[in-house]
Amino acid sequence: MPPATFRAVMRVVLLKDRNILPSQEWNRITGLISHEHILAARGRTDLTDMAESIKLLTESSMTTEMIQRLIFIMKSNATELPTPIHGGIGVMLDPLVAKFNHSCEPNISLHRPQHTMTSNWMNSTQLSEDERKNFVQVIPLRDIQEGEELLFCYVAPTVSVNVRKTKCMEDYFFDCKCPKCSSDLKAIADLAEEQPGLSARYQQWTASVIRHLSRLKRDPYALQKAATAMYKSEPFLEYPTLYTTGDFPQMAMGIIKEALNGKAFDEALVNVLRLHFLINPERFVGRHNPTNLYKTFLTLDIFDAILKISTPPGVSDNDRKEWLRNLSVREMSKRSLIYWRGRICADLRRRVEGGASKDLLFLVEKREEQQMQHLLPVGDQNFRGEEWKPNAEQEMRTLLGLGEARWKIVLRRSES
């Protein structure tokens, strides 16, 4: 169980023991589905040990069985709280939100307003009464018809259909048969029937990347090998069914995580751009989807580290020189990096302004100010102008390994 869920259960136990949690809220929480008949039937597990640890740490009068039931409830109903700055920062258990059923192609999403990121915000005199009561917003991702069920995505929509279905079964005990899973499975089967050799080669390629990623702890060159293997994806990028329904997103995310930990920001950028252009437009419902907005902020974070707009801990000027040199070898110049940083930021502004997460606008404005402050002295005052566009687009197409026709489709989808 993630540490955030452990802390959330401890919080509920402490609030209950101290008589701070209203009985009505306690009843709403304990009335949620727990799947305890399935989980308890497994006998003693790590969750049992966790319940005993919580009881010991909190010195609670609550029984271990009740605490374990709260863990089951939290595991089955809690929702991660993502942010545009810090990624996931915890989980939320809201009995109303927990009632939403799942779809891998949802019509609603959750957004935590920025004013809730400050300490003691519920007592702030600078916020309205409505703002002080507003911890999370339910945002429609498309037009919703009267009587249509509200559906929320319990899993990361960018992962493969097999991973989504496995997670739904392991964490929530149901077999997802939503339209997205059904269409993904059909597309995979159709392509395998039409081009069995292609599908087989794709599986061999993904297996090689995954094998390198599995050796990260014992092979110091595993990340480099995995990143090099990712460049062999070009033959498959003409077939969106392969890279949007399979393991491509998880492999890219694995490389991004390890590259950031190892201060290989150039490799992290290449893979985050693969997700930005190839995966996210196909997998996220709604142009203004909050989760997609958060991922765009994180993409800009990597740009900023490379372009010296920000300085992550432990990063030196020599590191940046190496990143820029490595990207230049891949035909991505510093000028093109500046151009794409500005273009992605401008697209982010359009998405925020056109959606319901307008509280993020000040963060966009901050990114724009940083670009003006740090990047204008580099050279041309019109670094986002049309004169930079042709070379920048060509360099991005080369970096991603796309043919011209596929690049036009991908570019149009990413900004639509």
What tens-digit pLDDT sequence spans the chain (416 residues)?
567 788 889 999 999 999 999 999 999 999 998 888 887 777 778 888 889 999 999 999 999 999 999 998 988 888 876 654 445 567 788 888 889 999 999 999 988 776 666 666 556 666 676 666 677 788 999 999 999 999 999 988 889 999 999 999 988 889 999 999 999 999 999 999 999 899 999 999 999 999 999 999 899 999 999 999 999 999 999 999 999 998 999 999 999 999 999 999 999 999 999 999 999 999 998 888 988 998 999 999 999 999 999 888 999 999 999 999 999 999 999 999 999 999 999 999 999 998 888 888 888 999 998 888 876 554 544 445 678 899 999 999 999 999 999 999 999 999 88
CB proximity list for 30: less than 8 A, separation 6 or greater = 69, 70, 73
Residue 150 CA neighbour count, 13 Å, CB half: 12
Strands 101-102 and 151-152: parallel
Q: Which residue stretches of 247-316 are H helix?
A: 248-261, 265-274, 280-283, 290-306
Which residue reads 């037009």 in tokens? Answer: 143
Q: Count of H helices and E strands in the chain?
A: 20, 6
At a CB cut-off of 8 Å and minimum separation 6, what does 205 contact? 229, 232, 233, 236
Q: Which residues of 213-246 are buried (b: 16+ CB within 10 A; e: fewer)?
A: beebeeeeebbebbbebbeebeebbebbbbbbbb
Q: How far apart are CA 140 and CA 268, in angstroms?
A: 31
Up-side HSE of residue 314: CA atoms within 13 Å toward CB? 6
Pairing of strands 137-140, 108-111: antiparallel
Identity of the residue numbered 347: D
- C-alpha to C-alpha distance for 265 and 144, rounded to whole angstroms: 40
- Dig out the tokens for 113 from the structure: 């307003």
Tokens of 181: 């899973």
Distances (CA, A) of 200 to 196, 204, 244, 277, 401: 6, 6, 16, 25, 21
- Single out the residue of 268, 275, 272, 397 nearest to residue 326, CA to CA: 268
Compute the C-alpha angle 403/407/410, nearest 5°.
140
Angle between helices 389-400 and 265-274 (to 10 degrees): 90
CA dihedral 339, 341, 347, 350 (to 10 degrees): -110
Helices 161-172 & 179-194, crossing angle to 10 degrees?
Answer: 140
The tokens for 256 are: 């991004």
Q: Is the model's pTM score more than 0.85? A: yes
DSSP letters, 154-170, are: -S-TTS-HHHHHHHHHH
Give the whole-angstrom CA distance, residue 320 versus residue 308: 8
